[in-house]
Structure 1
Amino acid sequence: MGNNHLISDKSTASSGWMNGFIGVLIFSGSLPATRVAVLDFNPVFLTVARATIAGLLALCVLLMLKERRPAKKDIFPLAIVSIGVVVGFPLLSALALQYVTAAHSIVFLGMLPLTTAIFGVIRGGERPRPAFWVCSVTGSMLVIGYAVAQGLSASPAGDILMLLAVILCGLGYAEGAKLSKTLGGWQVISWALVLSLPFMLPITWYLFPLTYTGITVPAWIGLAYVSIFSMLVGFIFWYRGLAQGGIAAVGQLQLLQPFFGLALAATLLHEQVSIGMLCITVGVILCVAGSKKFAK
């Protein structure tokens, strides 16, 4: 009986890692797809449209499966998830990508596991070892140093927007991971999207383009990708992975996201990925891996 239980636990953990990996792989296409979409779409419209499309899909799924409504105590955490991953990160990253390339912005994703860990520490009341903060500060300084070193070729506005986007996303991840323990993995992002729908839908209608002239096929594909995959499907796999394999363990898969993103930016958008950019990304990932190790 004990061996069967052990095999079941290992199988669940393996499924968690696989689901988490698929989620990260889907998220890796978000910034390149956003970069393509903002060439033809207004960043604010892109933000509200992706949330509206994903919210309507989530509402249909929740109604079809007759999911129970969240308790009153879950509304505030769901609002934080909405602010972080439904509105904050999509809007700020879309605005940033008007100033910087997708490859440049992806470097900031190396800080995402760190911000998630920090908010997890704040919410959980843990006391990390001093080594955690050493890794944390070192990783942040690498990113800031890289941004400054770009000089006139980069945009301070774009860097600040990406930094704020990553901070809000980390908050949304941490809050969503905590809430998924009681509400359920895919239900968290679905209810967060539905919660934002009364605000997103009217704004989408108001900002909807009057004409389709000048909007290219790649821009429509980018909008479809960030709406369906980045905003909904990716989170279904991601939160399911966190629930099955553990938040701390599966959360480390975020460290792979900058690599996937840089590869997509170079392949699909033909953007130049310099050796220095790769080195900084690797350095940030090593720092975040260290901060994860010493977080407990």
Structure 2
Amino acid sequence: MSSTVHTQAPANQETLGMWLGVLGVAFFAITLPMTRLATGTADAPQLSPWFVTLGRAALAGLLSAVFLLVTRSPRPQAHQWKPLGMAVLGNVIGYPLLLAYALRVVTASHAAVITALLPLVSAMVAAWVLHQRARPGFWICAAVGSALVVLFSVLRASQHTGGGFGFEWADLLLVGAVIAASFGYIYGAQVTPALGAERVICWVCVLALPLTLPATVLLWPQQPVATSAWVGFVYVGVFSMWIGFFAWYRGLALGGALRVSQTQLLQPFLSILAAVPLLGEALDAVTLGFAAAVVVTVVISKKLSQSPAARAPLARSP
């Protein structure tokens, strides 16, 4: 009886971790169309990419400060500041800034071609930083799932542009955004078991507040801005930068960063679903077919990943 209970508890935790990962990804998925609304395009600019990046972090930082005070959260220990600092560089500055600049040039569908690589890059970073291991079948599923997402995104991009997919300078920004986000996610996950999922993102945002708050005031727009741009800005500040990480970091901690990171394979498809009401894009059968195929790879990769007993600890002291 005792053995059954102990076996069932980790399994339930992993399942909960996967669902929390999906919830976090759902919040993050809407970031693409909302960022597009906030920044506008090169022809019709709204909020500047720098203001969106630093302003959303400042908004999340103020909310985080309130949360930490209300919950009387203790300060992180000395060895935890490094991973928190890496999360600041990756999730507060690197990813949103590079994404915002790229989305002024390319469409959300085009951006999905590159950001679809995020799950595979996150898994590679997790294996390197957290010393996690998985069977070869896991990596095959990760590669197949990523290839499906990239293929689907390329098809959509070519349909929207009326031609082939060309690699341009904005794609380099998106590659940098993927790398930055991956490191931010994994370093944040490294200290989640000790600090708690909610406190990790809160400390990350508060740590950046001395920079982001005054910069937001200085960069406050002087020209009229569309209401839709402000809606996009508030969303990326409250949900993309704050609440989404509550679910995401908790999911990484419970389910394992290697496995839960694969739920990001769903992100391009959720972005497309969100873009239907936000950007007026149409939903077609090809989208649903590719989404179903990617879901299968996520499920299989979870089954092929290593057992909980063999998994290396998520939190490691430097």
Check whether TM > 0.5. Answer: yes
Q: Which residue pairs with 2:252 in the alignment?
A: 242
Q: Does 1:227 align with 2:237?
A: yes
TM normalised by structure 1 equals: 0.84
Q: Which residue pairs with 2:123 in the alignment?
A: 117
Contact 2:83 2:190 in 1 (8 A): no
Q: Which residue pairs with 2:198 in the alignment?
A: 186
**Counterpart code for 2:185:** Y
| Cα gap change, 1:221 to 1:154, in 2 (>3 Å) | farther
Q: Deviations over 1:133-165 (max 9, x none)?
A: 897599579959949977687671221111110
Partner residue of 1:90 out of 83, 87, 96: 96
Distance in 1 separating the partners of 2:230 and 2:149:
35
Listed as ranges, the gaps of 5+ residues in structure 2 are 41-45, 307-318
Contact 2:154 2:165 in 1 (8 A): no
Which region of structure 1 is more displaced relative to structure 2, 264-273 or 79-88? Answer: 264-273
Q: Does 1:164 align with 2:179?
A: no
Q: Does 1:262 align with 2:262?
A: no
TM normalised by structure 2 equals: 0.79
Q: Deviations over 1:74-119 (max 9, x none)?
A: 1111110011111111100000001111122123232111111111
| Cα gap change, 1:163 to 1:248, in 2 (>3 Å) | same
**Counterpart code for 1:269:** L
**Counterpart code for 2:75:** R
Contact 1:47 1:94 in 2 (8 A): yes
Instruction: Report % sequence identity.
Output: 37
Q: Which residue pairs with 2:81 in the alignment?
A: 75
Contact 1:129 1:294 in 2 (8 A): yes
| Cα gap change, 1:44 to 1:284, in 2 (>3 Å) | farther
Distance in 1 separating the partners of 2:249 and 2:18:
11
Distance in 2 separating the partners of 1:10 and 1:128:
17
Q: Which residue pairs with 2:31 in the alignment?
A: 30
**Counterpart code for 1:190:** C
Look up the SS of the partner of 1:95 in the other structure. helix
Q: Which residue pairs with 2:43 in the alignment?
A: none
Look up the SS of the partner of 1:69 in the other structure. coil
Aligned residues: 294
Large movers: runs of 4+ above 6 Å: 127-131, 147-153, 272-296
| Cα gap change, 1:129 to 1:21, in 2 (>3 Å) | closer
Q: Which residue pairs with 1:17 in the alignment?
A: 18
Distance in 2 separating the partners of 1:138 and 1:266:
23
**Counterpart code for 1:105:** A
**Counterpart code for 1:65:** T
Which region of structure 1 is more displaced relative to structure 2, 201-210 or 270-279? Answer: 270-279
Listed as ranges, the gaps of 5+ residues in structure 1 are none
**Counterpart code for 1:261:** S
Distance in 2 separating the partners of 1:216 and 1:253:
33
Distance in 2 separating the partners of 1:262 and 1:141:
15
